[in-house]
A and B are shown apart, each in its own frame.
Chain A
Amino acid sequence: MPLTPTAFYADHLAQLHRLLLEHRIAKAHLSGTGIRLDGNDLGLDDRFDLPFGELSTLEFAHLFCVFDGSRVHQQAEKFPSRDDAPPGLYFTVINSKIIRNQHKNRTGLISEAVGETDLFIEALHVDHFFLNEQNTPRSLGTIAFTLCSITAHLAGLAHISLVAAGGVGFNPRHVGYKVWPRLGFDAALLPGETHGVLHLEACQTVQDVIAIDGAWWDAHGSQRLMAFDLAVASRSWQKLIPYVREKVLAESTL
């Protein structure tokens, strides 16, 4: 069964989705063409039968950030990986032009228990994501992530998680702890993290802090597992939608 749009999608995401699909960068790099999945050359009329519905090749490419001309390998991981990624069904994307040298992007579909109940939700985990900045337009990463998140919302997934790296006490060459929250990723603060900082003492999450004092987070924040909440009208969407409109669509020539 094809993906079913929500009312939130119709009201808040559909126009953005259409503009991104028509964007010259998406047409050049995220059109679902030239993809080889485990030895099969994909056609745009192929379909993907997933637990939550049926995806077209284009939707599959957007959900797992598969750039045109990529080779893709599917791997079932039954245990946490050596990089501490959760068990899941991962898609490794190899593309020597788009992805930074020696890297392979890797995104997986995971199933996560809801508290201590028997209920579970399905979600995405981004294990690796690196673009070759010299060979790619500067908005490609943001466009790829936005198409991924919109497709994941349409698929009914709950969230997208990743490790936002760097910050105080961590490798200084990583800046993910500053960058991913700008696109809507969030996480709980650590116990006592803002203790003694009067204007931030009531904050409970990274986004709470950023809403009051983004400079404080840039200077004092640090690495952790973060998630983009795909639920209707979430705080994550409230960050991502205006960001993409301002930074990607406003200054681009479609």
Chain B
Amino acid sequence: MTKQATALNKREQAFKSSTKARTARVFSISLKGIPQLDTSAKARLEAAARDPAGKRRDYPQLTIE
């Protein structure tokens, strides 16, 4: 009886200490300092996407039914 109660207490304490140690965090994600894509830059990217001689080997791929 005493042994079992002690084991349970230890497990409970371990659970309490592990949950106590874990604190929710907040990660800030900001676009500060990253330039906006303007119309001329977008036109360049659209042209690059159409370049059959582009050096890029892979593009987003998805298999669907």
Contact = CB atoms under 8 A, between A and B. Distances in A.
Interface in A138-176: 138-139, 141-142, 145, 162-166, 169-170, 174-176
Interface in B43-65: 44-46, 48-50, 52, 54-56, 58-65
B56 A83 contact: yes
A180 interface: yes
A40 B27 CA distance: 10
B27 A48 contact: yes
Contacts of B24: 43, 45-47
A128 B60 contact: yes
A133 interface: yes
Contact of B58 (A128, A138, A179): A128
Given A145-B62, A247-B65, A225 B46 contact: yes
B29 to A, nearest CB: 5
Interface of B: 22, 24-31, 33-39, 41-42, 44-46, 48-50, 52, 54-56, 58-65
Interface of A: 37, 40, 43, 45-51, 54, 74, 76-78, 80, 82-89, 103, 109-113, 115-116, 120, 122, 126-131, 133, 138-139, 141-142, 145, 162-166, 169-170, 174-176, 179-180, 182-183, 190, 223-225, 247
Instruction: Give me the 9 closest cross-chain CB pairs, A-B, nearest first.
Output: A165-B59, A129-B60, A84-B48, A45-B24, A225-B49, A112-B37, A141-B62, A111-B36, A163-B49
Given A48-B27, A86-B37, A110-B31, 14 more contacts: A48-B26, A49-B27, A49-B29, A76-B34, A84-B48, A84-B56, A87-B41, A113-B39, A142-B62, A162-B60, A183-B62, A223-B52, A224-B46, A247-B65
